[in-house]
Amino acid sequence: MITDKQVVDALRGVMHPEIKHNLVELEMIRDVSVEDEGVALTLALPFAKIPIKDDLVRMVKGAVAKLDATLQVEVNLTQMSQKERAAFMTASEGAPKPAQSANKIANVIAVLSGKGGVGKSSVAALLAVALNRRGEQVGVLDADITGPSIPMMFGLHQPPLMSPTGILPAETTGGIKVMSINLLLPSEDEAVIWRGPLISSAIKQFWNEVFWGDLDYLIVDLPPGTSDASLTVMQSIPLSGVVLVTSPQDLAGMVVRKAAGMAKRMGAPILGVVENMSYVTCPKCGEKIEVFGPSQAFRTALKIGSPLLGQLPLDPELARRCDAGEIEEYEAELFEPITEQLVERVPRRKTAPIFP
């Protein structure tokens, strides 16, 4: 009688028709079970509907049948989780880069909005600052390639250095590591006029070729909307979760629901919703003025099916600090409860290979 190990070894000879790796290396083979009359296993696909699905099933059955032609082979299909899909996409690109092998990043949180102008980047920066103040090792990957603003908020202007391991991210006065396309441009005012494939390639390089080192959290500042850049991040980077940023207008709520739909379809956990620019506090009387109309935060969060993490005011002091590159000096007491909830909601389980 054949064993589970024999089945797995046989499947190591099944090469993915589009990628020069076998199905076991790509972690597509799961739950191998050998019984008296047959073999049952699960084939994990990056997406439920792929053109070569039937070919893969046929190749798997053929490889097992070579061990014993009398065995019945049952192949169950499942779809990879977002983290598993990201690992699959990385493995499909070939041997890991030196930086990729050296990096140890515990949690990756993407910050996403449906539309621009809702303060997504400032929320991403504040999250990094708040986590850093808790004693966490934090990095920020600025994936907003055509509209990078993270370096200016942190007062970073010098280009990053190179090392044998990879590109060294810039580091803020508080110790937050930052990588952005703006740090690589000859001039900060130079426009990045790139099509989707080049933008996707740059994001992958920031993930694979930057020597982040040991991080407790990497915050990814995504561009607004559901275009190539966001898709690349959700396909190629193993996310612990996504934070959605919106503003009080119903239009912003409608568009952020589209972004939530994308995250769900890609299997990325939604950690919660942050409503930015919810109100302005009158400096004389302390009254809260809803300058953009009544809050839509609870309704938006309810429709998305995720918790409302908090509501942030429109604060001239934050704008001043960002313009001066001093966001690390902004007090941000209102952001501490948001950070606390996020830390509690980040999944603790890590994806591990089924077979070594």
Indicate whether 206 and 297 sit together in one domain.
Answer: yes
Give 100-126 pLDDT, tens digit per residue. Answer: 889 999 999 999 998 888 999 999 999
Indicate whether 208 and 280 sit together in one domain.
Answer: yes
CATH number of the structural domain spanning residue 190: 3.40.50.300
d(CA 153, CA 322) in angstroms, rounded, equals: 4
Q: Is residue 355 part of a domain?
A: no
Token match 């930015």: residue? Answer: 276
* Residue at which a domain ends, from 79, 104, 138: 79
d(CA 9, CA 353) in angstroms, rounded, equals: 15
Indicate whether 102 and 72 sit together in one domain.
Answer: no
What pLDDT does residue 289 have?
92
Token match 């779809």: residue? Answer: 79
Structure-block tokens of residue 143: 């994936």
* Phi/psi of residue 167, nearest 5 degrees: -70, 135
What pLDDT does residue 283 have?
86
**Is there a contact between 278 and 290 (Cβ–Cβ < 8 Å)?**
yes
Indicate whether 52 and 182 sit together in one domain.
Answer: no
**Is there a contact between 198 and 189 (Cβ–Cβ < 8 Å)?**
no
What pLDDT does residue 354 have?
35
CB atoms within 10 A of CB 67: 16
d(CA 257, CA 300) in angstroms, rounded, equals: 7
What pLDDT does residue 348 have?
62
Q: Which amino acid is at 236?
A: S
Indicate whether 124 and 57 sit together in one domain.
Answer: no
Burial class (CB in 10 A: 0-12, 13-18, 19+), 57: middle
Indicate whether 250 and 340 sit together in one domain.
Answer: yes
Number of alpha carbons in the 13 Å side-chain half-sphere of residue 99: 18
Indicate whether 62 and 100 sit together in one domain.
Answer: no
User: What letter does residue 182 receive in the DSSP assignment?
Assistant: G
**Long-range Cβ pairs for the range 74-78 (8 Å, 24+):** 74/38, 74/39, 74/40, 74/41, 75/41, 75/42, 75/43, 76/31, 76/40, 76/41, 76/42, 76/43, 77/42, 77/43, 77/45, 77/48, 77/53, 78/30, 78/42, 78/43, 78/44, 78/45
Indicate whether 289 and 162 sit together in one domain.
Answer: yes
d(CA 247, CA 295) in angstroms, rounded, equals: 8
Indicate whether 196 and 326 sit together in one domain.
Answer: yes
Within 8 A by CB and 6+ apart from 180, the residues are 140, 142, 148, 150, 151, 156
Domains identified in the chain, total number: 2
CATH number of the structural domain spanning residue 43: 3.30.300.130
Within 8 A by CB and 6+ apart from 116, the residues are 147, 224, 225
Average pLDDT along the chain, 356 residues, taken 10 residues at a time = 91 90 93 89 90 93 91 93 87 78 94 89 97 97 93 94 92 97 87 83 92 96 85 90 91 87 91 94 89 88 94 94 96 92 79 34
Q: Is residue 194 part of a domain?
A: yes
Indicate whether 180 and 283 sit together in one domain.
Answer: yes
d(CA 4, CA 110) in angstroms, rounded, equals: 39
d(CA 74, CA 60) in angstroms, rounded, equals: 10
**Is there a contact between 238 and 108 (Cβ–Cβ < 8 Å)?**
yes
Question: What is the span of the domain harbouring residue 229?
Answer: 90-345
Indicate whether 35 and 132 sit together in one domain.
Answer: no
Q: Is residue 224 part of a domain?
A: yes
Give the 3-state secondary structure of residue 42: strand
User: What letter does residue 161 receive in the DSSP assignment?
Assistant: E
CB atoms within 10 A of CB 27: 19
Q: Is residue 352 part of a domain?
A: no
**Is there a contact between 45 and 79 (Cβ–Cβ < 8 Å)?**
yes
Structure-block tokens of residue 263: 């995250």
**Is there a contact between 113 and 120 (Cβ–Cβ < 8 Å)?**
yes
What pLDDT does residue 135 have?
95
Q: Which of 24, 11, 23, 114 is nearest to 66 (CA)?
A: 11
Q: Is residue 354 part of a domain?
A: no
Q: Is residue 350 part of a domain?
A: no
What pLDDT does residue 352 have?
35
